[in-house]
Amino acid sequence: MKKLISGMTAFTIASMMTVTAFAEAAISNTTITPKGGDPFDVNPTPETAGATVEFNVDPTYTVTIPASFELTGEYGQQYSGSGTIQTGKVFLNEGEKIVVTLTSASKFNMSHEGAGEYKLPYTAEGSFGKLTNKETGGKVAEFPTSTEPASAGISFTTDETPTFAGKYTDPVVFGISIEKEPS
């Protein structure tokens, strides 16, 4: 019988501790005192307290750029190749968009693998047309907030027929930034 009473007492104390801890956590930052200041008043005048509901989430996005672009064609003609810039879900602040730009240190000239003296000029084209300023490059795609993946095509075309056989390369740099939408 003593074990039963001891067990019930321990259970009762543990239950009260749990309830007390929960109640303290729920009202730890709000204190309501009845009008008149008497905490023992059994019929206090009702009071209210305010609280703020908050939500915060950082922007998140993924932009995938192809590792390389292969230009193909027939001898005596211009060569071309294309690829796709892709995003996953884009979650940005209101009024923002992802902007993808393209630049080339060589000003969009591929170097010949031999002596590297012969340069083969080419043009890049994205969602905003051909990049006409080969000094600075330019914008090739934009992506707004979206719950669905999106994509934008990009292509490269030689500006002339190559003079020599061999491998031609030019590393290009894609810039990914977040910009404000115009008002």
The string of pLDDT tens digits covering residues 55-79 is: 888 999 999 999 999 999 998 889 9
Residue type, 157: T
The predicted pLDDT at position 92 comes to 93
The predicted pLDDT at position 51 comes to 86
Confidence check: pLDDT of 34 > 90 = no
For 103-131, what is the mean pLDDT?
92
Highest-scoring range by mean pLDDT, 15-19, 74-78, 133-137: 133-137
Where along the chain do its domains lie? 1-54, 63-180
The predicted pLDDT at position 43 comes to 67
Confidence check: pLDDT of 15 > 70 = no
Residues whose CB falls within 8 Å of the CB of residue 51, separated by 6 or more in sequence, listed in order: 30
Task: Read off the pLDDT of residues 148-161 as tens digits, 9 standing for 90 and up.
Answer: 999 999 999 999 99
Q: Which residue has the higher pLDDT, 6 or 101?
A: 101
Q: Phi-psi region for residue 16, left (φ > 0), alpha (ψ -120 to 50) or beta?
A: alpha
What architecture (CATH level 2) is domain 63-180? Answer: Sandwich (2.60)
**Maximum pairwise Cα distance, the chain:** 104
Average pLDDT of the chain is 82
Residues whose CB falls within 8 Å of the CB of residue 27, separated by 6 or more in sequence, listed in order: none
The predicted pLDDT at position 4 comes to 42
Least confident of 7-16, 94-103, 133-142: 7-16
Confidence check: pLDDT of 95 > 50 = yes
pLDDT confidence bin for 114, thresholds 50/70/90:
confident
pTM here is: 0.71
Residues whose CB falls within 8 Å of the CB of residue 172, separated by 6 or more in sequence, listed in order: 102, 103, 104, 108, 124
